[in-house]
Amino acid sequence: MSRPVPTPGRFEDEPVGASVDPVSASAELVAAGIPVRRASPEAIARWVGAGWADFRRSPVPGLVVGLVCVAVGWFIVLALWRIESAVFVLPLITGFMLASPLLAVPLYEVSRRHARGEPAGAGALLAGFRRNRWGIGFMGALLMLFLYGWLRVATMIWFLFFGLEAPPLDAFLATALSDFGFVLASFGIGGVLATLVFSISAISLPMLVDRPADAMTAAMTSLRACLGSPATMALWAFLISILTLIGIGAAFFGLLLVVPVIGHATWHAYTDLVGSAAERQQLRD
């Protein structure tokens, strides 16, 4: 007599993830939580144009933030030059890009005030941080953690390829570029980390400035916005990287213009993809 086939129960269920379709899972994630909208690649030009308009309208906060970025960049270079530690040059300069969204918080506040028709002077430099201290503080700590992790990974990659002996500063770049394996490993691992950081910070900090959300909700909303418009956000991340590298390559002084425009443009990306609190209030009224 044959035994009856047991119905799936506590011990007969399929393993978690056994029948998960990645495409369906991404679609479900996009549909959950705070609603996000899709944006076409053409929207990037609109974001940059609006960011430039915000910068021209209130240049002082943007120039102050840009000067801070220039000063931080030169401090990194001069400090490493003094201690003759060439190994940290590229990781710190590229890692600076991971943490830079935190420095742009005053720019998000300026754009928020512009959208509401409020004055946006020098007072916006600190007002943005006070609007959501815990959320912005947690997100800042998370970005610093990613920066620290990148520094550890980057130095480990260097020591794996070149040993513990650090080259002189004037020969560092030539040494680094001479090994294709090192370049491939650095860009590969760094690219994965940068993609993750961008996904959770693309619009999370403007959202934290704009509304009383927690850092986890803001990070997940940012991730869902990136999943909802992958081509647009990938192109936006590429443009940010290129412009930032150009600014750094211009002896860091290019950041005086690049950082404010990108910061303001990020606010407009947020309002396009999620919608500001003021827009939500207008819809309710």
Q: How many domains are contained in the chain?
A: 1
CA distance 285 to 281: 6
Of the listed ranges 118-122, 161-165, 196-200, the one predicted with least confidence: 161-165
Task: Give me the pLDDT at residue 177, please.
Answer: 74
Residue type, 221: T
- Does 20 reside within a domain? no
52-61, 95-104, 128-137: range with highest mean pLDDT = 52-61
pTM: 0.82
- Does 73 reside within a domain? yes
Which residue range forms the structural domain that includes residue 162?
40-277
**Cα 138–chain centre separation:** 14
- Does 19 reside within a domain? no
Polymer length in residues for the chain:
285
- Does 132 reside within a domain? yes
CA distance 187 to 181: 10
Contact criterion met (CB below 8 Å) for 58 and 110: yes
3-state secondary structure of 266: helix
- Does 161 reside within a domain? yes
When pLDDT is cut at 50, 70 and 90, the band that residue 284 belongs to is low
Residue type, 238: F
DSSP letter at 229 equals S
- Does 65 reside within a domain? yes
Pick 123 or 228 by higher pLDDT: 228
Contact criterion met (CB below 8 Å) for 183 and 175: no
Pick 165 or 40 by higher pLDDT: 40
CA distance 47 to 265: 5
Which residues, 6+ apart, have CB-to-CB distance to 203 below 8 Å?
218, 221, 222, 225, 266, 269, 270, 273, 274
- Does 251 reside within a domain? yes
Contact criterion met (CB below 8 Å) for 234 and 156: no
CA distance 26 to 189: 23
**For residue range 189-202, what is the model confidence (pLDDT) as tens digits?**
888 998 999 999 99
- Does 69 reside within a domain? yes
Which residues, 6+ apart, have CB-to-CB distance to 80 below 8 Å?
86, 88, 89, 92, 169
Nearest to 139 by CA among 163, 169, 89, 105: 105
**For residue range 76-112, what is the model confidence (pLDDT) as tens digits?**
888 777 766 666 777 777 777 778 888 899 999 999 9
Contact criterion met (CB below 8 Å) for 271 and 202: no
Residue type, 112: R
